Every structure is written in structure tokens, then in C-alpha cells.
């Protein structure tokens, strides 16, 4: 494939890119292709959301006690079914399932990758036709080939991620994924049903002036976070402040904007109940991997990158501050007090 050709599909690109890894077997490209296929099917459903009986809640809750929307369940089933039938996926863990699923057929047992995902991110935006997304990451299993996947395959630090990304179902549908070779974005051309390379080697701009947080909750985030928010809102022409506040409420959409325009996204600890909201394995790790591979930074609030947190539980949640390095540095100074 000529990498400079005008039209390059996701499948062509992943095959081309993953061949650049030493000892590549082509299996990673297949897993990425399968995730892309699942997301095209989810996209089809999302686009018809108002026409078919897909809006609203199912009447059930997930393991985290959150009400499941019909699209949460649909997207989860699609991803599981496609990855179960993939030739190269040993198992999955999903935000919507209590436990991980190890696929126990011979082909899966001999696959080296496991996939974690938030099948439908931004559930509260489904019924109002705002952007929603899917988030995923791929880890190389630590258990031996030929056996079924085990919990330790999933409970790996984000820094071990092999590939991670997201799909945004927005004004257009885009898939963005990162490997250690960089971050690239593909826009879905619905006329040919292919994700086509549209954003090569994505990098955050040097700095940004947009901060994203659910500011209505700022009383719960504590004094230090509130002081940082005051810094964002203060008038200082030299530093280009006040910053602009934008908050979509879909992490995928807020991170996608941060990747393109710069700035930072925050979901701090709720100090009234000591609970963070966003999930380490399905949201924070994949997004931190994408942003860090694009030149940004992520932290839980101390000196540690999100990618250095050792997961102990599949549904573990962590505080997150993520975006331009200079802004992450600034927020850390405020958090240290």
C-alpha cells in the first residue's frame, strides 16, 4: 500500500501500520478491524435512534447500579458477539458486564489479545441527540496461549496498552485510535461503509484555553479544585484567560475536542462520598493512552499518570485530569496546595 495514497481505509491502514512492529503477526489489525465493524453497526443503530424503538431505558441496571439504556445493551451485545467470533480475541471486559468473559473455543484460547470497552459512552445524551461514543483498549494477555483468559489479563496498567481509541457518533462518525506509533483518525464514509483516514498523526496543540468539568458539582470537588476553577475563570489577558468552559457530558466528545483544540478535561473525586466517577479500565486508561500518545498528559491528581495505576478491580474508578501538559502541571500545583 502506498501510505501517501488519497483514500486509505482503516483496515488498510492498520495492516500497514502494524506490520511496522517487530514480530507482528497481523492479529492486532484483525482485532481493530473487528472493533471497527462493530462500531459501524452501532453507528447504524445510533443514526436511526429516533425512528426505531431504541430510545430510552431498558428497565435494568448494570453492575454499577446505573440504569441501562437500550443502546447501552445493543452496543454491548454487538461488540461481544463480534469479538467472540473474531479469530484473534481471547476475551473481553465491558462496563456493562459484572465479570470479564473468556472465550473458550480453541481459536480464542490461542489468541493473544483481550479487549476492554465502554460500549456506549454518554448514555444521558442518547435521548437528546447529542454526541455519544464507544471507548476501547487492547491489552496483550499475560496468561499462556492455549488457555482461557484470566482476570490478570485485564487488570494490567494502562501503560501496557497495545492500542486504544474511541468512536464518536457526532456530526460525522469518527474512529480515532492510538498505538505507540501515534494517533490517527478515520471518518466514516457512509457511501462506501468504510472508515477512511482523515486525521493523520494527531497531536494536541501546544496549549489550549478550554476547560471541561461538570461545574455544577464543584461544591463536591473540594476547595483545591474550586481554586483551580477560579484560576481558569480569572481575567488575565497575558495568559489568555478567562478560559472557555465547555462540557458535553460525553467523555468521548469532551476528549475529542481536547485532542483537536487543546485544553483539559477533569472528573475529580467527589469528596462528599470519597468516590470518583469514571472507570479506569473502560474510560480513563484508553483515553489517557490516546491523549498521552498525542503529546498530552493525564493524572489522577497526584504525581502518577493514570497509565501507572495498578488496577485491582475490573470496575475500579479513578479521578482524572487530562489534556495539555502545561495545564495538567498547573492543576497539579493547585491540588498540592
Interaction of residue 254 with Mn ion, rule CB under 5 A: no
Interaction of residue 118 with Mn ion, rule CB under 5 A: yes
Window 50-79: residues binding ligand AHG (CB under 6 A) = 66
Interaction of residue 34 with Mn ion, rule CB under 5 A: no
Interaction of residue 179 with ligand AHG, rule CB under 6 A: no
- Report the partner that residue 27 touches, choosing among Mn ion, ligand AHG, none (CB closer than 5 to 8 A by kind): none
Interaction of residue 251 with ligand AHG, rule CB under 6 A: yes
Per-position x/- string for 192-221, each x denoting binding to ligand AHG as judged by CB under 6 A, each - no binding: ----------------------x-------
Minimal distance, residue 106 CB to ligand AHG, in Å:
33
Minimal distance, residue 214 CB to ligand AHG, in Å:
3
- Report the partner that residue 214 touches, choosing among ligand AHG, Mn ion, none (CB closer than 5 to 8 A by kind): ligand AHG
Interaction of residue 250 with ligand AHG, rule CB under 6 A: yes
Interaction of residue 118 with ligand AHG, rule CB under 6 A: yes
Interface residue with Mn ion, options 27, 121, 254, 292 (CB under 5 A)? 121
Interface residue with ligand AHG, options 36, 91, 122, 158 (CB under 6 A)? 122
My answer on whether omega of the bond before 242 falls inside 30° of 0, hence cis, is yes
State the residues that interact with ligand AHG by CB under 6 A. 66, 95, 118, 121-124, 214, 249-251, 277
Amino acid at each position: 500500500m502506498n501510505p501517501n495514497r488519497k483514500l486509505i481505509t482503516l483496515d488498510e491502514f492498520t495492516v500497514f501500520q502494524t506490520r511496522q512492529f517487530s514480530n507482528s503477526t497481523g492479529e492486532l489489525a484483525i482485532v481493530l478491524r473487528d472493533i471497527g465493524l462493530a462500531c459501524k453497526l452501532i453507528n447504524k443503530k445510533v443514526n436511526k435512534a429516533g425512528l426505531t424503538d431504541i430510545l430510552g431505558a431498558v428497565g435494568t441496571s448494570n453492575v454499577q447500579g446505573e440504569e441501562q439504556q437500550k443502546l447501552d445493551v445493543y452496543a454491548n451485545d454487538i461488540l461481544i458477539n463480534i469479538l467472540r467470533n473474531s479469530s484473534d480475541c481471547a476475551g473481553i471486559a465491558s462496563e456493562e458486564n459484572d465479570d470479564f468473559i473468556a472465550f473458550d473455543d480453541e481459536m480464542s484460547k490461542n489468541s493473544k489479545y483481550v479487549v476492554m470497552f465502554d460500549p456506549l459512552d454518554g448514555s444521558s445524551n442518547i435521548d437528546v441527540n447529542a454526541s455519544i461514543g464507544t471507548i476501547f483498549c487492547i491489552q496483550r494477555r499475560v496468561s499462556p496461549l492455549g488457555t482461557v483468559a484470566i482476570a490478570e489479563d485485564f487488570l494490567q496498567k494502562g501503560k501496557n496498552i497495545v492500542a486504544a481509541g474511541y468512536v464518536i457518533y457526532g456530526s460525522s462518525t469518527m474512529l480515532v485510535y492510538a498505538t505507540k506509533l501515534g494517533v490517527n483518525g478515520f471518518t466514516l464514509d457512509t457511501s462506501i461503509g468504510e472508515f477512511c483516514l482523515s486525521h493523520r498523526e494527531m497531536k494536541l496543540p501546544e496549549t489550549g484555553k478550554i476547560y471541561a468539568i461538570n461545574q455544577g458539582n464543584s461544591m463536591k470537588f473540594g476547595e483545591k479544585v474550586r481554586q483551580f476553577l477560579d484560576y481558569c475563570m480569572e481575567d488575565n489577558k497575558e495568559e489568555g484567560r478567562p478560559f472557555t468552559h465547555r462540557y458535553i457530558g460525553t467523555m468521548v466528545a469532551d476528549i475529542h475536542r481536547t485532542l483537536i483544540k487543546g485544553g483539559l478535561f477533569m472528573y475529580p473525586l467527589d469528596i462528599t462520598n470519597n468516590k470518583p466517577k469514571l472507570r479506569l479500565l473502560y474510560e480513563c486508561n484508553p483515553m489517557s493512552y490516546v491523549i498521552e500518545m498525542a503529546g498530552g498528559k493525564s493524572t489522577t491528581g497526584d504525581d502518577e499518570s493514570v497509565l501507572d495505576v495498578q488496577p485491582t478491580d475490573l470496575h475500579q474508578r479513578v479521578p482524572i485530569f487530562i489534556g495539555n501538559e502545561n495545564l495538567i502541571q498547573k492543576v497539579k500545583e493547585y491540588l498540592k496546595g
